[in-house]
Structure 1
Amino acid sequence: MSSRVSRRAFVTGTLGLAFAAALPGAGRAQGAADAPGGLKLGEPFAFRFDDLIARARTAAGDPFREPYRPLPEVTAAIDYAAHGQIKFKPDLALYADGPSAYPATFFHLGEFFQAAVKMHRVVDGQAQEILYSPDYFAMPADSPAHRLPPDAGFAGFRLQESTGEDRWRTHDWLAFLGASYFRAIGELEQYGLSARGVLIDAAVPDRPEEFPLFTEFYIAPAEEGEAVVIHALLDGPSLTGAFRFQATRGKAVVMEVEKHLFLRRDVQRLGIAPVTSMFWYGEHDRPFRVDWRPEVHDSDGLALWTGGGEHLWRPLRNPQATTVSSFLDENPRGFGLAQRDRNPEHFLDGVRYENRPTLWVEPLGDWGRGAVELLEIPTDDEIHDNIGAYWVPEAPARAGDALTYRYRLHWVAHEPFLPGTIARTVATRIGRGGEPGKPRPAGVRKFVVEFEGGPLPYLKTGVIPEAVITASRGEVSHVFVEAVPGLFGRWRAHFDLTAAGSEPVELRLYLSLDGEPQTETWLFQYVPRLES
């Protein structure tokens, strides 16, 4: 993952490829038909997920080949502004006239999406390629897209809201665009962070990150309220893959993912179920006068539910150097990047950061031993996705390996499995240590962590929970716990940390009463010299 990946558009990597194996019926052939609504279709052929898996497995034994990128000098001229002016005509959407309740519309190629991706409809076990035509798109007369060849192809697709709603032509709820990126809206009707098919060698020294590409999609119809089944083929220099997504549009969006990966070569960091987001600054690390808004982020923390049942919260950071933090676990119950702060006064921005979804990964089956990793990359603006979270298996990823994973993605307002029996972290604040009215000692930082909910609103008058604090090094002092004045049910813990040198300090805190945790566990990585 690069700190230069735009979050205003899905950006492909420089790598990726369509498989060399030809599909039955690929291309416009005699006997091809038109779909209802005017889309041009290739010849039908039988489609099964098992066959897609077999194709991916076979392709992994062949050398990687570059994808079809029609006239790169033309697609490079379709910049962000020009791409935004190219609109798919909604009346031509796949399944606009049925049998699916959720029509699909398509993205055009552009500067950031130069590789052609094949699209297919699947009805009654028969697939047909959707053949590109510039006539599907409304675009300005002077758009560079007019210079592309007739077989240019599509960049990706999105699912529109149900045709049972008047707004279906203008509102979508799921989008696949760029490399293996995809997004869905949450309960608060906003897009935000992204998921990816797989992460390969992000932040590995002397080895560039690889961005494999979804090269083919197969979209099946679904009745309203049912899961839309989408199949996808993945290809890249290091691996191939076959994916099945079952996406359900309800109050939130829930997707069940099954993926089969086949490695062409060794991978040093193989990220499973990767989530990508943006954190520029928040309440705990806002640089002085860097921007007029109080906070700017799509997500503000990493939430984890360990295999042992502990709930952890790690506030995100915008570090001065790229940092990878590993949280060892076995059969994790879940993890995700969350936007917990929902107060619009904390953002004051028309893009509505307070409504960005939380994305929770729920593993299905036995994932074994490994680690949830948190990748934090320095950024100086909000346009870069600089945060990643993903699962890394303990076993090395070697050429010839075949790996299968299943999980659910929950695009929601709040993490779905945080129990009501413990309070959650709602604020992290950092300032100068010491005591008011006295000289502030050098090298001392004060941390104030606030918790809310769970049993805290029901504590009897005079009962004060204990702050249980550990630090990997340094000295903790001035520990103090209090109810937050004016905010019923919210408690805060104060403590000072004195730590010399520049090595990171790993902090851990929770509130306890009679030896029982009353809150989730707050984690933080503090770097004294860099953050002094």
Structure 2
Amino acid sequence: MAADIVPPRPTPILHTVLDRRQTLTLGLSAAVAILGSEAAVAQSQSFPQAVLAALPEGQPFDAARVADMARTLARRAFVPPASDLPDPLGSLTYEQYVGIRALGTALVWNGEGRAFSLEPLHRGFLFTNPVQLFVVEDGAVRRLAYERGKFDFGKLQVPAGTPGGPDFGFSGFRVFFGGAGEAAQEIAIFQGATFFRAIARGQNFGAQARALMLRPAEAKGEEVPIFRAFWIERPSAGSGALVIHALLDSESVAGAVRFTLRPGEMTIIDVETTLFPRVALEHVGLGGMTATYLFGPNDQRGIDDARAAVYEAKGLQMLNGQGEWIWRPLSNPETLQISAFVDTDPRGIGLLQRDRDYATFQDDDQRFERRPSLWIEPFGDWGPGTVQLIEVPSDSEVNDNVIAYWRPKTPYPQGGEVTFAYRQFWCWKPPERPPLATVANTRVGRGSNNRRRRFFVDFVGDSLADAGTTVEAKPALTTAPGAVHNVRVWPYPERKTLRVAFELDPGNETSCELRLVLEAAGKPLSETWLYRWTP
């Protein structure tokens, strides 16, 4: 079960469906399920606070000590997060949880004339794991203490307890940029397990990132790491960058992560990670990202929806180590699909939203055309491995059913130390794009008989405005297995478009891997289109 990149390599693994509410974090329900079996242990144990003593409040901050804490933590047995959140906070509905509002007095650095401010996020609903928040001001560590009076709970009857209220704690934080009060724009959220997301100017939240993935889609279950604590450096006045340090923990590994966030026309986040495995890590996911894909022109079966399309990302873009640009349209399959794209030293991976026209979706509420593309570029060489793409069947747009990440070929050894880094671009368009014609649309429908499927693949690019070029362009099209028939080329120079139409006859096969690239004089005119057909 793998899409073709030479050499093709199957990856037969399983996965369970991970659900999320639209504005929540993918996989948190999975984290709750995984850790829930250890709830009894969590009641009698707590996170070893002695680890955090390496950076005591009021003392100078040293980023190296976060890695030291992770190293120390890795030598100890994993302690699940405490499940001590009382009702009603531990049993909130989604609507009740989003009704909890932080008051203006809870915002950190608001009104100080800095470009950034922070909003601590309350625990509740699925977000029950406690996260300790610290800020670094004038070089010194300051703990953000929980104060019940800084939150508006609406109609919820929350226990008051002693004067000042009990310490319910935080689940994460939001990052605002660009001024104080209503002038500030929410540009990033760090909340739940090791999930975070960001947007560029003028966008709506969509795709999400994961700082680390362990055993995704394996039959024995995914392991979901969590963030234990954050240290956020107060930026100087006029600074356009925010530095965030995090302590990561899981049954199999501890780690330190440094995020450097730069908002703008595209929001750039540099992610630097050091891992200390407690056990050998056979299946690790780096640069993980997730998004929703419900239906589109290539995938409309069984959909009864007034909208034209529903997806946060249209396809998986790859720039492999050989310099080949690859486009893999996403789908909502009938059965779980796992694709593995073999590569060495990948140069870029991303879940992209290429459709920026309202007419594509006709959705006045969700505005999918405003969702960010997420493109990552590794720092340094990542060696051999595979880009993994997981497509999970879904019947609802509130499911993040598409997952992509880099899986190193070589396992990470127990007791070792592993570092890696990459740059994320949360953007309208990635900064580096194919210097070739790109795929604008993939359409699939019934062919000339009940067995065949008809495909339209539209390529667009400046080179296709030249009638001479389009005459020379030839589609290099293959399928394995199956057969292709009735291949035709329709050039539209006035629209800088060339359409390749063909029929796929899968025979008795249950899946076919298709590959298409436009060529002229033996050289590519387009990125490579890959597609997996399934019934």
- TM-score under structure 1 length normalisation: 0.89
Cα shift at 1:307 = 0.7
Per-residue Cα deviation, 1:22-66 (whole angstroms, up to 9, x for no partner) = 43399xxxxxxxxxxxxxxx8412321211111101211110112
Which position in structure 1 is the counterpart of 2:452? Answer: 444
Paired residues of 2:61 and 2:136 also in contact (CA < 8 A): yes
Name which of structure 1's ranges 207-216 and 351-360 shifts more when overlaid on structure 2.
Answer: 207-216
User: 1:284/1:62 Cα in 2 relative to 1: closer, same or farther (>3 Å)?
Assistant: same
User: 1:72/1:311 Cα in 2 relative to 1: closer, same or farther (>3 Å)?
Assistant: farther
Looking at structure 2, the residues matched to 446 and 145 of structure 1 have their Cα atoms a distance apart, in angstroms, of 61
1:374 to 2:389 alignment: yes
User: 1:355/1:82 Cα in 2 relative to 1: closer, same or farther (>3 Å)?
Assistant: same
Cα shift at 1:497 = 1.4
- Residue 483 of structure 1 aligns to a residue whose secondary structure is strand
Looking at structure 1, the residues matched to 505 and 186 of structure 2 have their Cα atoms a distance apart, in angstroms, of 51
Which position in structure 1 is the counterpart of 2:40? Answer: none
Which position in structure 2 is the counterpart of 1:495? Answer: 502
1:338 to 2:342 alignment: no
Paired residues of 1:326 and 1:372 also in contact (CA < 8 A): yes
Q: Which amino acid aligns with 2:294?
A: W
Cα shift at 1:164 = 6.3
Pick from 209, 213, 229: which aligns with 1:195?
Answer: 209
Which position in structure 1 is the counterpart of 2:484? Answer: 476
Which position in structure 2 is the counterpart of 1:217? Answer: 230
Looking at structure 1, the residues matched to 98 and 190 of structure 2 have their Cα atoms a distance apart, in angstroms, of 16
1:88 to 2:117 alignment: no
User: 1:5/1:398 Cα in 2 relative to 1: closer, same or farther (>3 Å)?
Assistant: farther
Paired residues of 2:388 and 2:405 also in contact (CA < 8 A): yes
Which position in structure 2 is the counterpart of 1:418? Answer: 433
Cα shift at 1:464 = 4.5
Which position in structure 1 is the counterpart of 2:400? Answer: 385
User: 1:403/1:129 Cα in 2 relative to 1: closer, same or farther (>3 Å)?
Assistant: same
Cα shift at 1:306 = 0.5
Paired residues of 2:412 and 2:418 also in contact (CA < 8 A): no
Q: After superposition, where does 1:400-419 map in structure 2 within 5 Å?
A: 400-419=415-434
RMSD of aligned C-alpha atoms? 2.2
Paired residues of 1:275 and 1:388 also in contact (CA < 8 A): yes
- Residue 326 of structure 2 aligns to a residue whose secondary structure is strand
- Residue 251 of structure 2 aligns to a residue whose secondary structure is coil
Paired residues of 2:103 and 2:151 also in contact (CA < 8 A): yes
Cα shift at 1:100 = 3.6
- Which blocks of at least 5 consecutive residues in structure 2 are unaligned? 1-15, 36-45
Cα shift at 1:71 = 2.6
User: 1:320/1:461 Cα in 2 relative to 1: closer, same or farther (>3 Å)?
Assistant: closer
- Residue 45 of structure 1 aligns to a residue whose secondary structure is coil
Paired residues of 2:325 and 2:528 also in contact (CA < 8 A): yes
1:509 to 2:516 alignment: yes
Which position in structure 2 is the counterpart of 1:140? Answer: 154
Q: Which amino acid aligns with 1:357?
A: P
Paired residues of 2:54 and 2:65 also in contact (CA < 8 A): no
Looking at structure 2, the residues matched to 399 and 138 of structure 1 have their Cα atoms a distance apart, in angstroms, of 46
Which position in structure 2 is the counterpart of 1:237? Answer: 251
Which position in structure 2 is the counterpart of 1:167? Answer: 183
Which position in structure 2 is the counterpart of 1:23? Answer: 52
Pick from 168, 171, 189: which aligns with 1:152?
Answer: 168
Query: Number of aligned pairs?
Result: 502
- Residue 337 of structure 1 aligns to a residue whose secondary structure is strand
Looking at structure 2, the residues matched to 366 and 374 of structure 1 have their Cα atoms a distance apart, in angstroms, of 21
Cα shift at 1:300 = 1.1
Higher helix residue share: 2
Looking at structure 1, the residues matched to 512 and 427 of structure 2 have their Cα atoms a distance apart, in angstroms, of 32
User: 1:18/1:448 Cα in 2 relative to 1: closer, same or farther (>3 Å)?
Assistant: farther
- Residue 71 of structure 2 aligns to a residue whose secondary structure is helix
Paired residues of 1:117 and 1:216 also in contact (CA < 8 A): yes
Q: Which amino acid aligns with 1:162?
A: G
Paired residues of 2:389 and 2:402 also in contact (CA < 8 A): yes
Which position in structure 2 is the counterpart of 1:524? Answer: 531
User: 1:459/1:416 Cα in 2 relative to 1: closer, same or farther (>3 Å)?
Assistant: farther
Looking at structure 1, the residues matched to 488 and 330 of structure 2 have their Cα atoms a distance apart, in angstroms, of 24
Name which of structure 1's ranges 153-162 and 74-83 shifts more when overlaid on structure 2.
Answer: 74-83
Which position in structure 1 is the counterpart of 2:64? Answer: 50
Q: Which amino acid aligns with 1:517?
A: P
Per-residue Cα deviation, 1:93-137 (whole angstroms, up to 9, x for no partner) = 111143742010111111110011000110233111101011111
Q: After superposition, where does 1:5-404 map in structure 2 within 5 Å?
A: 5-10=20-25, 12=28, 13-14=31-32, 18-24=47-53, 43-98=57-112, 100-144=114-158, 150-163=166-179, 166-168=182-184, 171-205=185-219, 207-222=220-235, 223-349=237-363, 350-404=365-419
Paired residues of 2:332 and 2:393 also in contact (CA < 8 A): yes
Name which of structure 1's ranges 425-434 and 216-225 shifts more when overlaid on structure 2.
Answer: 216-225
Looking at structure 2, the residues matched to 72 and 299 of structure 1 have their Cα atoms a distance apart, in angstroms, of 38
Cα shift at 1:19 = 4.7
- Which blocks of at least 5 consecutive residues in structure 1 are unaligned? 27-41, 435-440
Cα shift at 1:320 = 1.6
Looking at structure 2, the residues matched to 185 and 360 of structure 1 have their Cα atoms a distance apart, in angstroms, of 12
Looking at structure 1, the residues matched to 395 and 159 of structure 2 have their Cα atoms a distance apart, in angstroms, of 32
Q: Which amino acid aligns with 1:406?
A: A
User: 1:505/1:18 Cα in 2 relative to 1: closer, same or farther (>3 Å)?
Assistant: farther
Which position in structure 1 is the counterpart of 2:474? Answer: 466
Paired residues of 1:225 and 1:248 also in contact (CA < 8 A): no
* Percent identity of equivalent pairs: 33
Cα shift at 1:484 = 4.2
User: 1:62/1:271 Cα in 2 relative to 1: closer, same or farther (>3 Å)?
Assistant: same
- TM-score under structure 2 length normalisation: 0.89
Which position in structure 1 is the counterpart of 2:4? Answer: none
Looking at structure 1, the residues matched to 428 and 339 of structure 2 have their Cα atoms a distance apart, in angstroms, of 25
Looking at structure 1, the residues matched to 242 and 404 of structure 2 have their Cα atoms a distance apart, in angstroms, of 26
